[in-house]
Amino acid sequence: MALVSSTPLLEEARAGGYCVGAFNVHTLEMLQAVVEAAEEVQAPLIIQSTVGTVKHLGADYIAAAATVAANRSSVPIALHLDHCSDFNIIMQCIRAGYTSVMIDASHDPFDLNVAATLKVVEAARAVGINVEAELGRVGGVEDDIVVDEHDALLADPDDCARFVELTGVHTLAPAIGTAHGIYKGDPNIDFDRIGRIASKVSVPLVLHGGSGIPEAQVKKAVSLGMSKMNVATELRIVFSDAIKAVFANNPDENDPRKYMVPAKQALKAAAIEKMRLCGSIGKA
């Protein structure tokens, strides 16, 4: 089937009490691995790329590869641009065929965040694609965006309700205590805040910083209303470690197929495990 907007996928997830795994990919092999994982377990899938990956590979290359994957697959697949503050890059990705984009103006004051988000929502409305925005500031490092833990700011539930009403945004990523990257200890997730936000907004909520969150915490966050979970760092580590293992055993290996295949297999297994945590297996 063709690439789809993530809006119906996430609305179904919220209504069904599960969430959809959203996986950042940086190579063709990573993209193939998460698609093969979704196909094997019949889970809906969101493929994501960062701004850095768009600059590295090209939005048209990424969209073309994702389109081929979607056309070959029996599960619904959306293609999402993650954490973008540049309106021009967002438009470039929309024109290339992305079916979901994130405008991240969370570093700006509330009114400016509203204005930037509304501009993207209006542009995306014509082509029927999803728009995600962030309120509060999620700590850690995501591509070129760095938020020190002392600068992280949790989202206010009333502000979330006002923000959704003012912008008409399709999905909201509120800062609730998670962080991008791998946690040094257990994440300090504010579950009460998730519940209060979910009670005030009707749109699906997005859990950023999904790498390394303990199983019980993921399931609790999902039960409270998180409908999309982003995973990036953990996938890069699994993929890279598998390649390193090949070279550790055979330093002279020079056939990319010999190290990309085990890397794909490792990433596929990791993606399936995340889909299990999301509760999305069999939901395609």
Residues 6 or more apart whose CB falls under 8 angstroms from that of 277 comprise 215, 218, 219, 229
In degrees, rounded to 5, the angle at the alpha carbon of residue 32 between the alpha carbons of residues 28 and 34 is: 120
Whether residue 104 is annotated as binding a ligand: the answer is yes
Task: Report the helix count and the strand count for the chain, using DSSP H and E.
Answer: 11, 11
**Residue 165 annotated as part of some ligand binding site:** no
Contact 144, 51 (CB under 8 A): yes
Residue count (the chain): 284
> Is the Cβ–Cβ distance between 2 and 71 less than 8 Å?
yes
**Residue pair 261/7 in contact by the 8 Å Cβ criterion:** no
Q: In what order do the strands lie in the sheet with 145-147?
A: 145-147, 139-142, 179-180
The CA-CA-CA angle for residues 95, 34, 226, to 5°, reads 80
Is 188 one of the annotated binding-site residues?
no
Ligand-binding annotation for 211, yes or no, is yes
CA distance 224 to 205: 10
With the C-alpha atoms ordered 254, 259, 261, 267, is the resulting torsion angle positive or negative? negative
To the question of whether residue 209 is assigned a binding role by annotation, the answer is yes
Say whether 255 counts as a known binding-site residue. Answer: no
Which tokens sit at 178? 């998670």
Q: Check the annotation: does 58 bind a ligand.
A: no
* 144, HSE (Cβ side, Cα atoms, 13 Å): 10
83 annotated as ligand-binding: yes
Active site residue 108: no
Query: Residue 111 annotated as binding?
Result: no
Pick the catalytic residue: 82, 108, 151, 158? Answer: 82
Is 231 marked within a binding site?
A: yes
**Contact indicator for 24, 141 with CB cutoff of 8 Å:** no
Which residues fall in the annotated binding site for dihydroxyacetone phosphate?
181, 209-211, 230-233
Q: Which residues are part of a known binding site for Zn(2+)?
A: 83, 104, 134, 180, 208
Return binding residues: 83, 104, 134, 180-181, 208-211, 230-233
Residues with a catalytic annotation lie at 82
